[in-house]
Amino acid sequence: MSSPAFSLKKLHTFAIETRAEKIVYAETPQEILAAWRECHQRNLPFLLLGEGSNVLFLEAFSGVIVVNRIKGIAITESIDCWHLEVGAGENWHGLVTYTLQQNIAGLENLALIPGCVGSSPIQNIGAYGVEIKDICEWVEILELESGQIKRLTAAECQFGYRDSIFKHRLQHGYAIVSVGFSLPKQWQPVMSYGDLTKMDAATVTPQQIFDAVCHMRRSKLPDPALTGNAGSFFKNPVITAEQAASLLATFPAAPHYPQSNGDVKLAAGWLIDQCQLKGYRLGGAAVHQQQALVLINAEEASAADVVALAHEIRQRVGKKFNVWLEPEVRFIGADGEKNAVEVIS
């Protein structure tokens, strides 16, 4: 096989120079299916990509990358809710903006999260107290083997913290083609994080929450159009109550968020910051100066630079806090996704 010929630099937000054997832009489920069948016949790896905002290509991809560009937003209503049916290739922040323009609230806490709508249930994306699992009604998937489209309920998606069935049993052989959302007409603001806690629940509007979220994200996070990055690189670790009690006895200032099951979520950015790693650099990769949770392509970084930096961060945080960070970003090798924890361990 000839060396991969198509550049992926503009198809993922880390903007690291790497290549693929072939790139297909799919605007329909049928085009995704045709590309998959070609890979099947030629025995090539197949990868479905949205906007590449949560991936790190470790090396050249030796198969076909299908860029999902299935579009469309349909809105219906019931007595209590607005119901959205959204193509997987729609831009996520574009959807948030559009719904507010239609006077439909409920997505404002998730403003400025990069990526496509189809990627949102895979990660169960979340920010400022709201997650996809809170608003998702269903997910439609294309079963590549049969060519059939099936609809999964939110319960069948098995949502967890930055997790879903699409990272496990349905990781291979399926493509998300559309997502359904249910947004209550009786809007309840969620103001449990950051600057939102200072707002007045009695008078706040969805637009004000949207504006505040955008301000917080822009003040902390680098713009991928200017500085290559994949957003939050690590998951916020979730530990047992016993582990949390031990950690807080030594580090009482550590931000911590009790979960409904008794576990405690920690702030990965704070843990990294306590290791004095803001601005720390290895090769062309660096920890962002304003937000330690973000790793950036500071100057023509290679994937190896990012992996080495992630390894160093994991080791330092683990040594100091006995908490072992796991990447939120998906690691893609020559023939498909790799176990990110194993790669950086």
Which residues, 6+ apart, have CB-to-CB distance to 261 below 8 Å? none
Contact, 279 vs 313, CB < 8 A? no
Residue matched to tokens 């790896």: 45
d(Cα 107, Cα 72) in Å, to the nearest integer?
17
d(Cα 291, Cα 244) in Å, to the nearest integer?
23
Question: Cα 40 to the chain's mean position, in Å?
Answer: 28
C-alpha dist (Å) from residue 146 to 125, 168, 257, 263: 29, 19, 43, 41
Among 293, 285, 277, 232, smallest CA distance to 16 is for 285
Among 35, 39, 32, 34, smallest CA distance to 1 is for 39
Question: Cα 218 to the chain's mean position, in Å?
Answer: 17
Element (H, E) at 86: strand 81-87
Active site residue 337: no
Active site residue 137: no
Q: Which of 19, 69, 162, 217 is catalytic?
A: 162
Among 68, 79, 74, smallest CA distance to 28 is for 68
Tell me how far apart the 2 most distant CA atoms of the chain are, in Å.
64
C-alpha dist (Å) from residue 122 to 80, 183, 197, 200: 27, 20, 28, 33
SS3 332: strand
Among 293, 178, 284, 162, smallest CA distance to 234 is for 293
Token digits of residue 24: 């297909």
Active site residue 330: no
Residues in the chain, total: 345
Q: Which of 53, 120, 164, 232 is catalytic?
A: 232
Query: Hey, which residues are catalytic here?
Result: 162, 232, 328
